[in-house]
Structure 1
Amino acid sequence: MIATVESILKKYLPEETGYQKTLLEAMNYSLLAGGKRIRPTMMQETYWIFGGEGEEIEPFMAAMEMIHTYSLVHDDLPAMDNDTLRRGRTTTWREFGEDMGILAGDGLLTYAFETAAKAFDKTLHADRVGRAIGILAQKAGIYGMAGGQAVDVELTGGPIPADTLDFIYRLKTGALLEASMMIGAVLAGAGEEEIHLCEQIAGDIGMAFQIRDDMLDVISTEEELGKPIGSDERNIKTTYVTLYGLEKADAEVRRLSERAIDALAKLPGDKDFFISFIKKMEDRSR
């Protein structure tokens, strides 16, 4: 599945030419750094669950990965997490400079919407594409990922109440996963209740995924993660582990995963991918 996403992503990479060539190189460097490609894969699998068969999903898959990648590029900046390693290679800002790292993130975010708009030429349902673009914008923006990140940054270095941490995780990590499943459902013509259910399922997956990330920052290794460990402690960040400990964090991952699997049973089509993914996520080491 990763190979499929990679081939789709490469179709939409900007050509590294012109006076702004360095910016385009930095964007592509970031996009091609590897990764699990979870979000576009979830989008495509949801599209298939609801019987989608067209190509309009592909620009959105690429756009989603561009938005996710831009968030990582900006996360790594000195003003944020100040990380120098991402996915086993030098972070974008260290490779191209801090100024170009900022611009690469900006470029990826903007180019994502240019890419998503190409779906209009690949569909008979322009209304679905328009709605999907709206979902992508909302879940990436101030009421989604960027909003969660803002609260996270503002409160770093001090205690964060449990309900606020939930809010941060639901937006910062969960929002793009929610958008992925919702867009797949919308483009395939799913009903309103089904779209809402997809949002709930993805929200639980995102919460479980982020809590597992908290755990890995403590129990994993730099070789396994492909990035420095202990950054939460180094940046004095409140996490599920610091609030509840490893045992309770693990229990919450499993509770959320079970709830997501139970909800999946209400959707049509083949859910084997999602069930397998959720079960692997519970015990992932990277």
Structure 2
Amino acid sequence: MTHPPFVFDQWANAHQQRIEQVLAQTLPAETVLPERLHAAMRYAVLGGGKRVRALLSYAAAELAETTLERADAAAAAVELIHAFSLVHDDMPCMDDDDLRRGKPSCHKQYDDATALLVGDALQSLAFECLVDTGAPQALKQVQVLANATGSRGMCGGQSIDLQSTGKRLSRSALETMHQYKTGALIEAAALLGAFAANETAPQLINTLMQYSQHMGLAFQVVDDILDATADTQTLGKTAGKDALQDKSTYVSLLGLDEAKSLVSHLHTQTLALLAAFGAQADPLRGIARFICERPF
């Protein structure tokens, strides 16, 4: 029996719709006390974004041969953490951006105090998602997400970024910063999906770690390229902010052409990693292509 060819856009669209429904059901309703906070949480999470991290969780879960239902909690948890990071990142004390996903940032739509609480509440809800499943590897999932979120992960990367504004970073220092700030959560997304299975082979975990490390770096390099070349309408957030804030980026460090070459090299390395997994890895290949070939 022959299977129809894999079409990434169809797979991604189906899973994006699924995670939107899962998130809508997971978030408290706007009518539940405190209504304003819950409305702001839903505003910050629903109706926008590429859901790349959720797609990674679903793709890794497929490779680990577990069900969509098992993967839902992992995909929701990582999207809630990502949304929390964006809400806090946009605040005046951080990167100070008035636009996110093509609409006013949470603190602009509501206020600074509400946005701060939204981020806190979304982080807590993410861990509830994982614990409530009672899955055999739920504790491992909690550990992975906590490590990726804290001072040795995303929050640590943001701290380094704030301290580095106006400074010229070396390539290794820039890579370290983004391994924390961006790469840690991308790696967690893949591992959370894999750990949704009852058991996960060490070889698979090792491959997913290498895959997500390559993709985390590629994601950031492409972001830097787009910030330098795309307009605000295309990005859905303010374009050119890196230059305005005098931040070190892969474009400022390497130049535009070399930054693009780095993305291509990372994509090639990633495809080589997945060669042994056959058609089961097609979703991961599609995500890699999407990350690396976003128009720039």
Q: TM-score, normalised by structure 1?
A: 0.94
Task: Please show how residues 148-159 of structure 1 align to structure 2 within 5 Å.
Answer: 148-159=157-168
Matched, 1:195 2:211: no
With over 3 angstroms needed to count, the CA separation of the structure-2 counterparts of 1:31 and 1:54, relative to structure 1, is closer
Alpha-carbon distance in structure 2 between the residues aligned to 1:211 and 1:54: 31
Residue aligning to 2:148: 139
Tell me if structure 2 keeps the 8 A contact 1:40–1:180. yes
Matched, 1:162 2:176: no
Tell me if structure 2 keeps the 8 A contact 1:74–1:102. yes
Could you list the per-position Cα deviations for residues 220-275 of structure 1 after superposition, in whole angstroms to 9, with x for gaps in the alignment? 11111111100001111000000010000000011111111111123465122222
Could you list the per-position Cα deviations for residues 181-222 of structure 1 after superposition, in whole angstroms to 9, with x for gaps in the alignment? 112122222212221220110110010011000000011111
Residue aligning to 1:263: 273
Alpha-carbon distance in structure 2 between the residues aligned to 1:269 and 1:249: 30
Tell me if structure 2 keeps the 8 A contact 1:182–1:196. no
Alpha-carbon distance in structure 1 between the residues aligned to 2:84 and 2:289: 28
Task: Please show how residues 172-187 of structure 1 align to structure 2 within 5 Å.
Answer: 172-187=181-196
Q: Which amino acid aligns with 1:213?
A: D
Tell me if structure 2 keeps the 8 A contact 1:49–1:269. no
Residue aligning to 1:71: 85
Tell me if structure 1 keeps the 8 A contact 2:74–2:129. yes
- Other structure's SS at 1:170 match: helix
Aligned-pair Cα RMSD in Å: 1.5
Q: 1:113 aligns with which of 121, 127, 130?
A: 127
Tell me if structure 2 keeps the 8 A contact 1:12–1:59. no
Structure 2, unaligned runs of 5 or more: 1-14
Q: 2:61 aligns with which of 47, 65, 88?
A: 47
Residue aligning to 1:32: 46
How far off is 1:19 after superposition? 4.3
How far off is 1:281 after superposition? 2.4
Q: Which amino acid aligns with 1:187?
A: A
Could you list the per-position Cα deviations for residues 49-104 of structure 1 after superposition, in whole angstroms to 9, with x for gaps in the alignment? 12102623212211110000000001100111111111110000001011111111
Alpha-carbon distance in structure 2 between the residues aligned to 1:33 and 1:285: 22
Alpha-carbon distance in structure 2 between the residues aligned to 1:268 and 1:9: 31
Alpha-carbon distance in structure 1 between the residues aligned to 2:68 and 2:16: 19
Tell me if structure 2 keeps the 8 A contact 1:212–1:253. yes
Q: Which amino acid aligns with 1:205?
A: M
Which deviates the most, 190-199 or 236-245? 190-199
Tell me if structure 2 keeps the 8 A contact 1:60–1:115. yes
Alpha-carbon distance in structure 2 between the residues aligned to 1:19 and 1:183: 31
Residue aligning to 1:234: 244
Q: Which amino acid aligns with 1:66?
A: L
Q: Which amino acid aligns with 2:97?
A: D
Which deviates the most, 260-269 or 216-225? 260-269
Q: 2:22 aligns with which of 8, 11, 35?
A: 8
How far off is 1:15 after superposition? 2.0
% same residue: 33
Alpha-carbon distance in structure 2 between the residues aligned to 1:43 and 1:103: 26
Alpha-carbon distance in structure 2 between the residues aligned to 1:275 and 1:206: 14
Structure 1, unaligned runs of 5 or more: none
Q: Which amino acid aligns with 1:3?
A: Q
Which deviates the most, 161-170 or 55-64? 55-64
How far off is 1:118 after superposition? 1.2
- Corresponding pairs, count: 281
Could you list the per-position Cα deviations for residues 90-122 of structure 1 after superposition, in whole angstroms to 9, with x for gaps in the alignment? 0000010111111111111111111221111xx
